[in-house]
Amino acid sequence: MSKYIVGNWKMNQTLPEIKAYFEYVEKYSAKFNCESWIAPQAIHLAPLMNKSKKIVLGAQNSAPFDKGAYTGEVSPVALKELGAKFTIVGHSERRTYFKEHHALLNKKTEAALNAGLKVIFCVGETAQERNDDRTFVVIEEQLREGLKSIIIPNPEALLVAYEPIWAIGTGMNATASQAQEVHEFIRVQLKDTFPTTGKDLPILYGGSVNTENIESLLAQRDIDGALVGGASLKPEDYTKLCLLASKF
C-alpha cells in the first residue's frame, strides 16, 4: 500500500499563500509516489480544484446531514459535487472546542460515506488518560461508538487517524514504538468491526509529524501514513514529507 501524507491546514493560509504553495509543490509532485492529500479550509476548496494532478483535496469537517435547514453547515453532498474526495471526522479540536461527541461523529461518518466521500476518522487520548493507563479504553470507545453500524462501501473508504492529543501542535510526537503499539491495537479493533476490510484500512499517525521523524514512524508495520498539521503549512516541508513517504 502507498503511504499517505495528509496535510490538515486547519484554519490557516490565505489565497496568495495557497497560490505560492501550489506553485512550489507542483515543481516536485510528479515525483510523489504516495497518496498526497490536503485539507484546506472549506472555502478554499473551490479555487484549488484542478490546481494539481497529484494532490487530492478534501474537507476538514462536514455536516451529519445531506441538506436542509442547518445554517452554517457544509453538506457532504456539496463537497463531493465540488470534487472533494475525503473529509476528516472526529478531530480532537472538533471534539474539544465544538463538543462533538460519539453520536454526532457517527452521523457525520455515515453521511459522508453515503455522499461518496472517504472518511478519515480521528481518535486519540489526552495526556491524563495516557498517564492513567486508559489509552486503549478511550480509543476502543471512540472507535466502537463512532463507527457503530457503519458500512464501508469499499476498502479505501475509511481511514483511521491516531492522534494523541498531547502530541498535537506540541512538538512532542509519540515515539515510533508508542505509535505502533496503539496502531496495532486499532488494527485489531478494525478487524473485529469490519471482518472483510478491517485488515486493509489505512491507519495514519498524527501529532507533531515533521521531516525528521516521518521515516521512523512510517517504518512501523501498522503505520500507513501521517496526518500532518503544522509541518504541512510549509510547502518545502510538505514536499519533503511526500518525497520521504514515496520511498516506502
Q: Contact at 8 Å (CB) between 162 and 139?
A: yes
Q: Is 213 in the site for ligand 13P (CB under 6 A)?
A: no
Catalytic residues: 91, 163
In the three-class reduction of DSSP (H, G, I as helix; E, B as strand; rest coil), residue 6 is classed as: strand
Least distance between ligand 13P and beta carbon 130 (Å): 16
Q: Is 225 in the site for ligand 13P (CB under 6 A)?
A: no
Q: Is 58 in the site for ligand 13P (CB under 6 A)?
A: no
50-76: buried (b, 16+ CB within 10 Å) or exposed (e) per residue?
Answer: eebebbbbbbbbbbbeeeeeeeeebbb
79-111: buried (b, 16+ CB within 10 Å) or exposed (e) per residue?
Answer: bbeeebebbbbbbbbbbeeeebebebbbebbbb
Q: Is 208 in the site for ligand 13P (CB under 6 A)?
A: yes
Least distance between ligand 13P and beta carbon 122 (Å): 7
Q: Is 163 in the site for ligand 13P (CB under 6 A)?
A: yes
- Any residues with CB less than 8 A from the CB of 29 and at least 6 apart, and which? 36, 52, 53, 54, 55, 239, 242
Q: Is 119 in the site for ligand 13P (CB under 6 A)?
A: no
- End-to-end Cα, the chain, rounded Å: 9
Q: Which three cell numbers stand for residue 6?
A: 495528509
Q: Is 129 in the site for ligand 13P (CB under 6 A)?
A: no
Determine the residue type at 141: E
Q: Is 160 in the site for ligand 13P (CB under 6 A)?
A: no
User: Which span sits near ligand 13P by CB under 6 A: 29-37, 99-107, 161-169, 175-183?
Assistant: 161-169
If the CB atoms of residues 90 and 198 are measured against ligand 13P, the closer one turns out to be: 90
User: Which span sits near ligand 13P by CB under 6 A: 11-19, 23-31, 191-199, 206-214?
Assistant: 206-214
Q: Which residues bind ligand 13P (CB under 6 A)?
A: 8, 91, 163, 168-169, 206-209, 227-231
